[in-house]
């Protein structure tokens, strides 16, 4: 892999990981356009680690607050610690649901789904979900302290849909979190914090599938550049999305998903199957 290609993959992964437009779909599209396939999930997992590192550092105060509050609740059962304790439980519940169902669906999600037509269809589904939650469903006003186990289960189930190429993880969690009545800031925060255990967990489970040959083929310089680029643009993507959602609508991401779906279906080889 050339340095230019490494930078491009890093930018694509970084910018799309947290936007509700499916990073997996965009990595596949980038592979098709550049003609630079990489077998297995090794390189994609590597890039995801850079993204989750950006989230952990950006939300370090929230993360530390939840962790400290979670364990402090066992000693000091204060109201504040109880909120953090339950929020940590809700993160764990959604993560476990996603992990278990993801493993069960692993064999079902085969190469037949890693084609431009399927990805285009999934992007359309993501766009329709964003339109529904923006135009049809009314925003709720429930915050972190108002959350319950049902919320975590629904969001966990929604997050599981992201195993399908083209279904956005952040989009699925945002849509389901807003669907159960969480207010926007809480839904965004929950979505961002959920990505940490999900990516770290999937990385641990995929350790056995990591291929040294892929890393050797890509090359050390490209690996370093792609990691740094992904981290930087993941950070920028987080800042931009949070600011964007404060003053604008999810409908614009839906329009983008439709445009991307049209491009994928009509301008990429519909017979191509990406080995990722």
Written as tens digits, the pLDDT of the chain (276 aa) is 788 988 999 999 898 888 888 887 888 888 888 877 665 566 777 888 899 999 999 999 989 998 998 898 888 878 878 889 999 999 999 999 988 888 787 767 655 566 788 888 889 999 999 998 888 777 778 888 889 999 999 999 998 888 887 888 888 998 999 998 898 888 888 998 998 888 887 777 666 556 666 667 778 888 889 999 999 999 999 999 888 888 778 888 999 999 999 988 887 765 554 444
Alpha helices in the chain (DSSP H): 3-16, 23-34, 42-58, 60-72, 79-105, 116-131, 149-160, 169-179, 184-205, 212-218, 220-247, 251-267
First to last CA, the chain: 16
Q: What is the reported pLDDT for 124?
A: 92
How far is 272 from 252, CA to CA, in rounded Å? 29
Beta bridge partners of 142: 182
How far is 114 from 45, CA to CA, in rounded Å? 17
Phi and psi dihedrals of 264, rounded to 5? -60, -45
Structure tokens at 155: 């969001």
Structure tokens at 120: 């285009």
How far is 258 from 109, CA to CA, in rounded Å? 23
What 8-state DSSP symbol labels residue 140?
-
Structure tokens at 84: 């953090």
* Cβ proximity of 173 and 191 under 8 Å: yes
How far is 249 from 134, CA to CA, in rounded Å? 7
Give the up-direction half-sphere exposure of residue 175: CA atoms within 13 A in the CB hemisphere. Answer: 30
Taking CA atoms, 43 is separated from 206, 210, 212, 218, in Å, by 11, 9, 10, 9
Q: What is the reported pLDDT for 128?
A: 92
Taking CA atoms, 74 is separated from 63, 164, 223, in Å, by 18, 38, 43
Domains in the chain: boundaries: 3-267
How far is 196 from 122, CA to CA, in rounded Å? 24
């Amino acid at each position: 892999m050339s340095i230019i290609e490494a930078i491009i993959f890093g930018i694509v992964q970084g910018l799309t990981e947290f936007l509700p437009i499916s990073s997996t779909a965009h990595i596949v599209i980038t592979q098709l356009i550049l003609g630079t396939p990489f077998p297995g999930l090794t390189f994609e997992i590597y890039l995801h680690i850079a993204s989750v590192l950006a989230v952990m550092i950006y939300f370090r105060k929230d993360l530390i607050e939840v962790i400290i509050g979670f364990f402090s609740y066992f000693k000091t059962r204060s109201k504040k610690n109880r909120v953090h304790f339950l929020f940590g439980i809700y993160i764990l519940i959604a993560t476990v649901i996603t992990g278990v169902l993801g493993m069960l669906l692993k064999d079902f999600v085969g190469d037949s789904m890693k084609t431009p037509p399927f990805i285009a269809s999934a992007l359309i589904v993501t766009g329709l979900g964003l339109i529904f939650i923006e135009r049809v469903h009314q925003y709720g006003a429930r915050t972190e302290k108002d959350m319950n186990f049902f919320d975590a289960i629904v969001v966990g189930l929604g997050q599981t849909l992201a195993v399908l190429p083209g279904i956005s993880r952040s989009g699925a969690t945002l849509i389901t979190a807003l669907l159960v009545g969480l207010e926007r800031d809480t839904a965004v925060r929950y979505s961002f914090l959920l990505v940490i255990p999900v990516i770290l967990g999937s990385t641990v489970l995929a350790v056995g599938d990591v291929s040294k040959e892929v890393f050797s083929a890509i090359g050390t310089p490209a690996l370093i550049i792609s990691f740094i680029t992904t981290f930087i643009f993941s950070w920028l993507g987080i800042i931009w999305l949070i600011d964007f959602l404060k003053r604008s609508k999810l409908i614009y991401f839906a329009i983008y998903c439709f445009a991307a779906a049209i491009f994928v279906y009509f301008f990429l080889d519909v017979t191509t199957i990406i080995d990722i």
